[in-house]
Amino acid sequence: QMKKQCDQKLLIRMKTECVPCSLNLGTQCPAGYTKITNGTGIPDCRYYLEMKTHTLSFPGCRHHCVKEFEQPECCQGHWGPDCMGE
């Protein structure tokens, strides 16, 4: 029995919002995403504070998150909604 369905695994990456590193410890990824950084996350961003007359920018941290999902696809040589085509 040949496999007609060859699902593609897709990895979606995202980063959480940039916040002060000390506050980033408790930051969670959105529902369905897995956090792949730990502790205070990665200090690769800047966050901004609005003052009355100007805006200040500070180094901050954010977490990287991934979500895996399977995209249904037919194997080579098969097509259609039920992957029956030869």
Question: Is there a domain that residue 31 lies in?
Answer: yes
CA gap 32, 68 in Å, rounded = 9
pLDDT band at 84 (very low <50, low <70, confident <90, very high): confident
Question: Is there a domain that residue 79 lies in?
Answer: no
pLDDT band at 56 (very low <50, low <70, confident <90, very high): very high
pLDDT band at 1 (very low <50, low <70, confident <90, very high): low
Report the pLDDT value the prediction gives residue 26, as an integer from 0 to 100: 92
3-state secondary structure of 22: helix
Over 70: is that where the pLDDT of 61 sits? Answer: yes
Give pLDDT tens digits for 5-54: 888 899 999 999 999 999 999 999 999 999 999 999 999 999 999 999 99
Question: Is there a domain that residue 85 lies in?
Answer: no
Question: Is there a domain that residue 1 lies in?
Answer: no
Number of domains into which the chain is organized: 1
Report the pLDDT value the prediction gives residue 86, as an integer from 0 to 100: 63
3-state secondary structure of 23: helix
The tokens for 6 are: 């060859």
Question: Is there a domain that residue 18 lies in?
Answer: yes
DSSP assignment of 64-75 equals EEEEEEEEP-BP
Residue 67's domain comprises: 8-71
